[in-house]
Amino acid sequence: MTKLSVNINKFATLRNARGGNMPDILKVAQDCERFGADGITVHPRPDERHIRYQDVIDLKPLVTTEFNIEGYPSKGFMDLVLAIKPDQCTLVPDPPDAITSNTGWDTIQYQSFLKDVIGTLKAAGIRVSIFLNADVSKVEAAKTAGADRIELYTGPYAEEYAKARTQPQNFQLFNDYKNTAKAATAIGLDLNAGHDLSLENLRFFKLHIPQLKEVSIGHALVCDAIYLGLENTIQLYKRELTD
């Protein structure tokens, strides 16, 4: 079974747009769980453009499914995560000014850094996933750094999938995803995936990469919910993940 973790960043974007508390992020998270989400993901960025550090603190006692905190392991981020102790922490290499996540870790170049960070998080009992491009050459070093899981960065997949209707599919790119997934599971790394997954492209990815433990989806899901309603949308995404 592949779990759906709903990333609620963009609900916080809407809330912050007017400075009040609408939508109420805490209620959104609880409703997402009530509607069938298997987890809640947040990505508190340094500028707090959407999810604020206080949101993460307030969410902790309310989330009853899996709580996944994503982010770059700065001191402030690490202090927050170690205080909250979520079920999972997903490390991303995003610079502070990144408009969104747009690449995975170079696990070879940052091996020592990642080993230290992951060791600290795992000593606190937190499962660690690291954001990775579809690149087999970086998988072994993710394992030696101590990660429990990798999260396949699916931005390029989503972009290629959207083009496929009008252009020949880039099968090498998709083979890279399949080969990276295979290499990860072969050495005991569990597999997550995320970024720009949607109702259009999720089923194809899931069918061809069946080892998926979890997908974290936010932007497209929130956009779909505007038209289809949040409960209906979560159910539609869950249906795309059924085996």
Ligand X SMILES: NCC(=O)COP(=O)(O)O
Q: Which residues are known to be catalytic?
A: 43, 70, 195
Which C-beta is closer to ligand X: that of 102 or that of 171? 102
Helices then strands, each counted (H, E), the chain: 11, 8
Q: Which of 144, 118, 149 is nearest to 132 (CA)?
A: 149
Binding of ligand X at residue 7 (CB under 6 A)?
Answer: yes
DSSP E strand boundaries for the chain: 3-7, 39-42, 66-71, 88-91, 127-132, 149-153, 190-194, 212-217
Q: How far is the CB of 80 from ligand DXP (least distance, A)?
A: 15
For ligand DXP, the binding residues (CB under 6 A) are: 7, 9, 43, 45, 70, 92, 100-101, 131, 194-195, 218
Residue 197 as a binder of ligand X (CB under 6 A): the answer is yes
**Rounded to whole angstroms, how far apart are CA atoms 86 and 49?**
21
Comparison of 41 and 133: residue with beta carbon closer to ligand X: 41
41 forms part of the interface with ligand X (CB under 6 A): yes
- Which residues, at least 6 apart from 91, have a Cβ–Cβ distance to it below 8 Å? 70, 71, 72, 73, 105, 114, 117, 118, 128, 129, 130, 131
DSSP state of 20: S
CB of residue 217 to ligand X, shortest distance in Å = 4
CB of 12 vs ligand DXP, minimal distance in Å? 9
List, in order, residues 6 or more apart from 47 with CB less than 8 Å away.
Answer: 96
Contact between 2 and ligand X per CB under 6 A: no
Which residues, listed in sequence order, are joined to residue 67 by a DSSP beta bridge?
Answer: 40
Is residue 195 within the footprint of ligand X (CB under 6 A)? yes
Taking CB under 6 A as the binding criterion, the range among 27-35, 107-115, 161-169, 214-222 that sits at the site for ligand X is 214-222
Closest approach of Cβ 152 to ligand DXP, in Å? Answer: 10
52 lines the binding site for ligand X (CB under 6 A): no
Asked if residue 219 binds ligand X (CB under 6 A), the reply is yes
Peptide bond into 168 cis (omega under 30): no
Which of 25, 51, 217, 225 touches ligand X (CB under 6 A)? 217
**Contact footprint for ligand X (CB under 6 A):** 7, 41, 70, 151, 194-197, 216-220
